[in-house]
Amino acid sequence: MKENAWVTDLLGDFIVSIPKTRRYFVIGSVALMSYTSTIGYERKIKDIDIICDDIDFQEVASKLRNLGYQQDTFVDKSFPLFSKLSKLSKSKYFRFVKEEKSLEIMTSNFGDSKNEFNIEVYPGINFSFPSKGVVTSIYNNLSFQAVSKETLFCIYTFGMRTWGRFVKTNMGQRKRDVGELYKVVDKEKLKFIASRIYLRLGKFEFRVPTFIVG
């Protein structure tokens, strides 16, 4: 899809800016298109969403700025818990803009476990999923780390069945995305991932019921 050709350049810049041993994964539209384009479903991508380990991230940020990116934050007043998030906007929720296209990067301490990824989404709110939920994917001939089809399906489904009940923006598109993604997921892998997603609120941790994510 020609209008998404820019993705290769920006994501490529991120990949060359991050140490090879640093863990990260792409989520959102780029991950989605890397899977559904194989069955003919593509749509316009607005930005590139990435979650990255926070170790020495300022070095990555510096390299991106040296490549001509303007650094900002993607947090605005429309976000839940805006007052708390705004305090972390320059140290956790990054936007790097170049030629009106952007990389939106959230950092988190992934922890030391080799069996799972532990992600702090909001202050005091963490979710975790198996390390098998991150794979190598390809889009526009560029190889990168991304959440698997199954993990992405769980993330999208969780969103639609929780805050999606109240936030109706682009609901038609979101339903199409989930419907097309479901066509390519491995149902056994989906069961495995969906049964191993945990949410931690402060000191309390619990497994997310599979009917919410799967």
CATH number (domain holding residue 18): 3.30.460.40
pLDDT of residue 161: 82
Is 165 or 124 the better-scoring residue by pLDDT?
A: 124
- Tell me the per-residue pLDDT of 148-175, one tens digit each, with 9 for 90 and over: 999 999 999 988 887 655 565 777 888 9
- Tell me the per-residue pLDDT of 92-107, one tens digit each, with 9 for 90 and over: 889 999 999 999 999 9
Determine the Cα angle at 125 with ends 31 and 172, to 5°.
40
Mean pLDDT of all residues in 118-136: 91
pLDDT of residue 80: 57
Is 160 or 25 the better-scoring residue by pLDDT?
A: 25
**At residue 82, does pLDDT exceed 60?**
no
Number of domains in the chain: 1
Is 152 or 76 the better-scoring residue by pLDDT?
A: 152
Please state the pTM of the whole predicted model: 0.92
Comparing 29-33, 118-122, 131-135, which segment has the lowest mean pLDDT?
118-122
pLDDT of residue 89: 61
**Full residue range of the structural domain in which residue 101 is found:** 2-213
pLDDT of residue 48: 98
pLDDT of residue 26: 98
CA-closest candidate to residue 196, choices 113, 125, 117, 121: 117
CB of 28 closer than 8 Å to CB of 34: no
Give the best-scoring range by mean pLDDT among 70-79, 84-93, 104-113, 145-154: 145-154
d(CA 14, CA 47): 13
16 pLDDT band, cuts 50/70/90, is very high
**CB atoms near residue 168 (< 10 Å):** 9
Residue % of the chain over a pLDDT of 90: 70
